[in-house]
Structure 1
Amino acid sequence: MIEDREIEYSALSGPVTQAGVTVIVKIFRFLGTDDPWTLEVVDHEGGSTVWDETFPTERSAYEAFRNALAEEGIGSFLEPAETRH
């Protein structure tokens, strides 16, 4: 059995607002590991968009978010409640 493990959040995590809509960017991995980073975006209603791929650096995860934001707009993170990229 694996004990509960602490999560390490990147300093690049946090709120991002575009066109009056705010989402929370979460870039994380297990604390104290060299595991790749996971990217999740949470909307104001708790809907979650999680990327299927993981990222070697927190910067590359953030760039993937910024690319999706530029290409699809912030509305792409608002529905459906759970989306995977």
Structure 2
Amino acid sequence: MAKEPKLEHSEFSGEFEDDGITVLVDIYRPAGTQGDWQLEVISQAEDVTTWEEPFATDKDAWEEFLATAERDGLASFLGEDEPSLH
């Protein structure tokens, strides 16, 4: 079995709560690299929203999450039967 690569998580990763909804924001890249950052948002029901395009910086990923949450609300990350892609 292949070992999963170790990941470096951004300081922006963590729980985010608004209007009674809590999600986990995960911004990460392969550990020990200067690679692009990936963004995922995971609901309490384990609905996963993944952005297809990586981000040059973890701050860019965080700002995209904030913009999406502001525009669409945290409820937009809930209740998908299939993983959601942005």
Q: TM-score range by the shorter chain?
A: over 0.9
- 1:4 deviation in Å? 3.0
CA offset digits 1:34-69 (Å, max 9, x no partner): 110000000001110000110000000000000000
CA RMSD of superposed structures (Å)? 1.4
1:9-24 equivalences under 5 Å are: 9-24=9-24
Q: Please give the secondary structure, in 2, of the residue aligned with 1:32.
A: coil
1: CA distance, partners of 2:79 / 2:59:
25
Question: Structure 1 regions of 5+ residues with no counterpart?
Answer: none
Aligned residues: 85
Q: TM-score, normalised by structure 1?
A: 0.94
Q: TM-score, normalised by structure 2?
A: 0.93
2: CA distance, partners of 1:50 / 1:43:
12
2: CA distance, partners of 1:19 / 1:70:
12
Q: Please give the secondary structure, in 1, of the residue aligned with 2:65.
A: helix
Q: Please give the secondary structure, in 2, of the residue aligned with 1:25.
A: strand
Q: Please give the secondary structure, in 1, of the residue aligned with 2:54.
A: coil
2: CA distance, partners of 1:72 / 1:27:
19
1:1-85 equivalences under 5 Å are: 3-81=3-81, 82-85=83-86
1: CA distance, partners of 2:3 / 2:22:
34
Ranges of 4+ aligned residues in structure 1 off by more than 2 Å: none
Question: Structure 2 regions of 5+ residues with no counterpart?
Answer: none
Q: Identity across aligned pairs (percent)?
A: 35
Amino acid of the structure 2 residue aligned with 1:27? I
